[in-house]
Structure 1
């Protein structure tokens, strides 16, 4: 496969590498705080946050070095320029795998909280909704893999006059042809993914808050306050996470309806790509900032046994 050269490719790689080096200490601090500096009364949720941080780290490494996508507007071509540039479709599929996995984290947090409180989940409908969302999003992954066999359809020679020749490079995924039914499915799946994530935040927060309220009389005030505080932390954390990922996905979906032809949009697309590549580090930083037990222990502000929960 012949490698293509793109505008500002070296500059974008340099920026991504620099930001990765700057964000690396955040992960080191997070692992230190969760493994060696976590208060005992917070151990029930430490595993969840560890999984969240590991997911953030893997996604940042994938976006910054493995895939490192380069978007070409207004044709919505996604080109792989990272280490795995020879496998553009596999990288595009892995991107959706990461997104779907992060989307499934939201109900996971909620169910874990309910298991701690009442021993089991009392929201079977919520489980059904979560399963439906996961299945629908897995369909989007299957749709992307089918692009491997539909490339000849996508790069119809009659359209080459209309499009920039660079988008036909073999390391690019071109999804601009709406005569191909899978393009519609991918577009709908992307829009649904973003909307469902926002809805899931509200649904999980409301249902978990209701579960906490119903358990007020059956648990100690300290336990109730601990879980309520952790719920507020999760809502803020997920909101930051979805906001950082939702903006690029929203622009990706909008680019199928609006032609962003001005050159400034290319710079905007590059900025969103860089934002996506460091969103895991920023989300981890938000976790450290909003999770008060970790912050208190990290800066040696150890509260007394009596006031540990109230300060949380």
Structure 2
């Protein structure tokens, strides 16, 4: 596919303005049941986020008062990501062409496909950045004494922060150039394949550029580095922190050690969910660009995977963080007791009202 996208402006004379899809074409909805799943899953996921935010704010013990701001940041980031991709962006694919078109709310405001894609990239990198900051907090709390480990972790943190701030500057800074290039790439593809779908030419569509594109290649390298650093480094960081907690078990109370380990295990499972549900779709995207793919249903499964990684991570946070899990269990038990006690009291009162 990439050989059709070479930058050959001379082939475009009289063609760029000749293909201008109508609003009806560019406003076509995403196919079912993909669209309904993306929209109506919020009936389940939004209450989960509301519950998580309530637990973090009102049910965090004193030992979590400082750490809860990271949990709140992480949960809000997950919520924003999910709402963005499923309601505002809602990408639709046109395989075997490496194209997606935004069919969400942004289409009514004529946002470019590139702008929507860059926002998705920024939110993805924000998730990785937040996870790293949470690990940094846990790393600092236990006071790692190994000098080599501290240096390596500081380098990782600096690298991730640098990449996280550089990526949106680089992406949005090159947006005007890339929007123009999109028109060229789309028309070159049209010149070689006359039967390509017209929605590909909509402003809300984005066509994957050639692999050696001077913007696309550095962008993909930065994204891969951010996700790769998170996946590769954090298991070792987890092991280092847990080993340090074992060393501190002779100095600190068992309750403190168990609390710290519980928070680390919770964070590890959240990270594992993010790493799996982000890296698999990313790998699928790269595979499609390089080798091609013909089945849209696979692409939609991957989009669903990346869309709801935040929900599963939030569920893991609630389940593996004992104070939050116990708060839910206590509420359920209290409701069960009320259900049992209230009918009994009502029966007694009715009997008391009957004259002997």
TM bucket, shorter chain: 0.7 to 0.9
What displacement does 1:186 show?
2.9
Residues in 2 aligned to 1:69 and 1:224: alpha-carbon distance in whole angstroms: 45
1:159 aligned residue: 189
- Pick one of 146, 159, 162 that aligns with 1:135: 162
Residues in 1 aligned to 2:313 and 2:323: alpha-carbon distance in whole angstroms: 17
Residues in 1 aligned to 2:146 and 2:46: alpha-carbon distance in whole angstroms: 36
Q: Which segment drifts farther, 92-101 or 210-219?
A: 210-219
1:84 aligned residue: 106
Residues in 2 aligned to 1:148 and 1:9: alpha-carbon distance in whole angstroms: 30
1:60 aligned residue: 82
- Pick one of 198, 202, 212 that aligns with 2:231: 198
What displacement does 1:230 show?
1.3
- Pick one of 270, 274, 287 that aligns with 1:237: 270
Residues in 2 aligned to 1:72 and 1:266: alpha-carbon distance in whole angstroms: 7
- How many residues align? The count is 299
TM-score, normalised on structure 2?
0.75
Structure with greater helix share of residues: 2
What displacement does 1:169 show?
1.8
| Structure 1 residues without counterparts, runs of 5 or longer | 302-312
Residues in 2 aligned to 1:186 and 1:162: alpha-carbon distance in whole angstroms: 27
1:150 aligned residue: 178
Deviation digits for residues 88-127 of structure 1 (CA, Å, limit 9, x no counterpart): 2222111111111111123211221233334999724312
Secondary structure in structure 1 of the residue aligned to 2:290: coil
Contact 1:107 1:200 in 2 (8 A): no
Residues in 2 aligned to 1:62 and 1:11: alpha-carbon distance in whole angstroms: 19
1:259 aligned residue: 292
Contact 1:75 1:176 in 2 (8 A): no
What displacement does 1:142 show?
4.2
Look at both structures and tell me which one has the larger radius of gyration over its CA atoms: 2
Shift in alpha-carbon separation, 1:111–1:196, aligned structure 2, 3 A: closer
Contact 2:102 2:205 in 1 (8 A): yes
Residues in 2 aligned to 1:209 and 1:109: alpha-carbon distance in whole angstroms: 15
1:114 aligned residue: 139
2:121 aligned residue: 96
What displacement does 1:179 show?
5.1
Residue 93 of structure 2 is aligned to residue 71 of structure 1: yes
Deviation digits for residues 180-226 of structure 1 (CA, Å, limit 9, x no counterpart): 22222233334333322211321321232243234333322221221
